[in-house]
Amino acid sequence: MQKLQILRMGNKMAKKLLEKENAKQEPKVYFCKHITAGICRYNEGDVLITDDTLKKMNATFSGKPVYVEHQKVNLENIQEEADGYVIKSFYMPEDASYWAQFIVVSDKGHKAIKDGYRVSNAYVPESFGAGGDYHNIPYKQEITDGHYTHLALVDNRFNPLKSASGVIIVRAQPMSLNTARFQSAKKRVWGDYKKR
């Protein structure tokens, strides 16, 4: 699309198209730790999410959009709004956490990473189990299945919450024991995981 045609559009989508067209950096692949099994505190009470549930949910993360800050996923404008895409989610036995490989395609996404933003995933629970105790900590219910909706690059941590639409948002810990929040594919410590 020619720049003049885009400028005549004069709307938010036209501006986004110009931003994407004028990206100053090539897409880059990153890795991050995005969730760990355990108890999460939400507005409605504590819930348990186990490794079994997270393993089931892993496959639902591939292809999901990456945004700078959380926003509702709108399939009608996903290509204009997404700052990147999740490639895959995988379990890392060395730290008992779930990691994501994702690609950032926008200057806004690259800037967020350079500025030290952290990752936060969002998922929708699909089924629940009864409450109980986990390591002597009571929880209201267990999430037994769900699917991811997006990965966000966020400016700071906040308590996990459940939105009115039922999407659960979880802030993940900075990766690699607070030594680095993100690592590019060229400088990665973990790289493509291979059993040693």
Q: Is the pLDDT of residue 173 over 60?
A: no
pLDDT higher than 90, residue 166 = no
pLDDT at residue 23, rounded to an integer = 67
Per-domain boundaries in the chain: 26-184
pLDDT of residue 16: 57
**152 or 177: whose pLDDT is higher?**
152
User: Which SS3 state, helix, strand or coil, does residue 55 take?
Assistant: helix
Tell me: the pLDDT tens digits for 26-73? Answer: 899 999 999 999 998 888 889 999 999 999 999 999 999 999 999 999
Q: What is the pLDDT of residues 68-92, one digit of tens each?
A: 999 999 999 998 999 999 999 999 9
Q: Which residues contact 71 (CB under 8 A, 6 or more apart)?
A: 81, 150, 152
Q: How many CB atoms lie within 10 A of CB 46?
A: 15
Residue-level pLDDT at 84: 96
Mean pLDDT across 151-155: 91
The 10 Å Cβ neighbour count of residue 190 is 16
